[in-house]
Every structure is written in structure tokens, then in C-alpha cells.
Amino acid sequence: MSKPYHLTCHMAVSIDGKVTGGFLEDPRFGDHDGDYFELFHQYNRSSRNWISGRVSMAQVITRHHTADTAAFAGQQVSRDDFVGDPAARRFAIAFDPDGKLSWTQNRIGDEYPALKGDHIIAILSESVADSYLLYLQSLGVSYVFAGTQKPLSMRTALDKLHRLFGLDDFLLVGGGYINGSFMQEGLNDTISLIQAPLVESRSVFQSDEGERPLPAYRFTEHELFGNGSLRLVYQKVGDGDDGVNADEPD
């Protein structure tokens, strides 16, 4: 089915394909984080929006605070989509099916200076409490419904965002579960990955040993095969090389 919009998923990953974990906090990740955000801002200038799941948004923006909806207890509200700021031009879109994120205003503030001013849109299920919807309205936070309950319909959400806010180019930035939800509905048009030369050691490199510092690597070679496969070669750098010739297979 054709659609009038395009979605790009842009992520930073480890060598072994992880999008979360200790490698993101490793000081050696700093330069690669800069590369990721340089491209993020390039995409964001044209898309005018970024999409994130509830867990990622709570970690970065709302800091896991609890929404105070006591003032609206016992009140009822219809399940109509709500546009809190018709004049907004840039958007932070949060998929929050249960209505758990605690906002203090209707736009990104000093907690994320590079995106300050982006108007917040919550993507909800219709099972969210009336008191939470009234709480969002009181702040001027926009919201749209993308299903009666979980799992949400990603396509319904994008269709409404396109229609209500004039968006036709979306930027999806994780985490992994929401990325997978868009993938299951076949909505990821472009995938952009910044692969850092660090290992998370929970997928390709499994171990029963406890946590320990893992080596860094240097990208040295790539090869694109005719069938579309891509070979990536990394060589270990720093101390602890053990003198192994990394060019020779085991």
C-alpha cells in the first residue's frame, strides 16, 4: 500500500548490533556519538520531527517522573485527537500507549537544548485514563490515538500525523522495540546506522563471565558483495592485543 510520507530510522549501534548497553556510556563512544548527532540534525532539519518510544523518552526527557493527574480525577473526556499548538512547526513525537510520561510543558525545554522548542505530540491508546488526557490538555501537549489498546497501529499514527500536522518525512530514533513495531508494519523506508567500533558482548559475543572492560576496535576494511552482503573488518587497538594476527582466521 502506497503512503504519502517517508520514514527514516537512524540509530547508533555497536559492532554486535546492540542499540543499548554499556558501550553508549563508554568514554570511547564520544566521537561516534558526535557522528550520530551530526547526521541526526541533518535529517531533523528536513523532517521537522523525531519519534521515540516511551522508555527512551523517559530516560532522556521526563527523567522517569510520575504524571500528577490528581486535579482531573473523576472527570471525563472524549477520545478525540487533540492539537495543542496549531502554529507549531517542529515536533517531538512520543509513543506512550499507556499514558505514563510526565510532561511539565508542551515543548522540549532545557533538558535537551539542541531540540529546545520542539512541540510534544503523544501517541496514545484509547485506554488511557481520562485524567491523563485532561492533564495533557492543560499543558497544551498534543495527542493522537493509534488504537483502542496495545499494540498501537504505527500506520494509523503516521497517517494522523501526516494529516493533522502536515508531516511527510519522519525520523525514528528508537529504541529497539518501537523500531521493531514500525518494521513489522513495513514502514521503515530508510535505515541509517552509525556503527561504533565497540562491542557490547551480549549478542554476537556471548559470555557467562561477569562484566569487564571490553576492547575497542579500528575499522580497516569493507567489501560489498554482489548479492548485497557487506563484509566489515575491524582490528583491535590498544593494550591487550596478545600478538594475534587478526588477518588470519581461527
Given a cut of 70, whether residue 178 has pLDDT beyond it is: yes
**Residues 44 and 85 both lie in one domain:** yes
Whether 23 is covered by a domain: the verdict is yes
Claim to verify: residue 156 and residue 247 sit in the same structural domain: no
- pLDDT for residue 241 is more than 50: no
Q: Structure pTM? A: 0.86
- Higher-confidence residue of 155 and 237: namely 155
User: Three-state SS across 143-189?
Assistant: EEECCCCCCCCHHHHHHHHHHHHCCCEEEECCCHHHHHHHHHCCCCC
Of 205, 184, 182, the C-alpha closest to 14 is: 205
State how many domains the chain has: 2
Residues 136-162, mean pLDDT to the nearest whole number: 97
Q: Has residue 245 got a pLDDT over 80?
A: no
pLDDT digits (tens, 9 = 90+) for 185-203: 999 999 999 888 888 866 6
- The mean per-residue pLDDT over the stretch 46-63 comes to 94
Average pLDDT score over residue span 162-179:
96
pLDDT of residue 23: 85
Identify the domain containing residue 219 by its residue range. 215-250
Q: Do residue 139 and residue 63 come from a single domain? A: yes
Residue 180 domain-assigned (yes or no): yes
183 and 81 both lie in a single domain: yes
Q: Residue 239: what pLDDT?
A: 52
Q: Identify whether 37 is part of a domain.
A: yes
In-domain check, residue 1: no
pLDDT of residue 249: 39
Domain shared by 133 and 244, yes or no: no
